[in-house]
Amino acid sequence: MGTYVQLGAVKTWYDVTGTGEPLVLLHGGLVDARFFEPNLGALAEHYRVHTPERRGHGHTPDVPGPITYQLMADDMIAFLETVVGGPADLVGHSDGAFTAMFVAMQRPDLVKRLVLISGGFNKSGSAEPEGMEWDVDELARYLGPAYGEVSPDGEEHFTVVATKIGEMAAKEPDLEAGDLAKVTARTLVMFADDDLVTLAHMTEMFQALPEAELAIVPGTSHFLTQEKPELVNRLVVDFLTREPVPTVAPIRRAPAQEA
């Protein structure tokens, strides 16, 4: 059924499924926690899964002012402190991955393990065709009805939120590869082989994160969690429930030689 918690100015909606150690799912932009329906059952077999919906998304009402990754990271930090009550594993998709990464950079004490699905770190990695515009009206036709099913702001407010997300997406995220060294949590970086960022950007991100593992899901797009949920679920559960194995021929992970 879900419930609300007041986190600063944001009346945040969330639901909890399963038992065990805490896991928080962070949905992408302009969708809500229902996006994770193909993944929730598999994760809830192992974890107490929290599915918060961020400001202006799903059941959570919008608040005046812009939407930025920093604001959403602040909201998520408050959620971890207030609702979860401490550190958790974070799994984020798209905008949710950016938000989770910001949390891990700024509050490593609140992040155990991190799964970043289809989220880069700056605009240079975009694989979108040149001239592709952020069409709020087209987005409203495609995503507005689902938004209206649950949003307390009503379907007509979708264009307001979509405009805010478009303004954010035009300039964020804007990190340097070196900034990713701040992420100390063990991290699974997952992309589709036909994602919204380039393959070069994927590998640059993987190489820049200190404790990273990389998964490329074949034959999928940015919506890989729904296109091949069984494969995505197996990869995520394997990463979260198993310790790293000693590899036979390590190259990137080879122990540094003492001088």
Question: What are the tens digits of pLDDT across the range 80-100?
Answer: 999 999 999 999 999 999 999
Domain at 3-241, CATH homologous superfamily: Alpha/Beta hydrolase fold, catalytic domain (3.40.50.1820)
Domain layout of the chain by residue ranges: 3-241
User: What pLDDT is recorded for position 128?
Assistant: 84
pLDDT classification of 204: cutoffs 50, 70, 90: very high
pTM: 0.96
Give the containing element (helix H, strand E) for 99: helix 95-106
Question: What are the tens digits of pLDDT across the range 143-168?
Answer: 999 999 999 999 999 999 999 999 99
| Distances from the Cα of 178 to the Cα of 172, 181, 206, 207, 208, angstroms | 16, 6, 12, 10, 7
> What is the CB neighbour count within 10 angstroms for residue 39?
22
Contact predicate 37/22, CB 8 Å: no
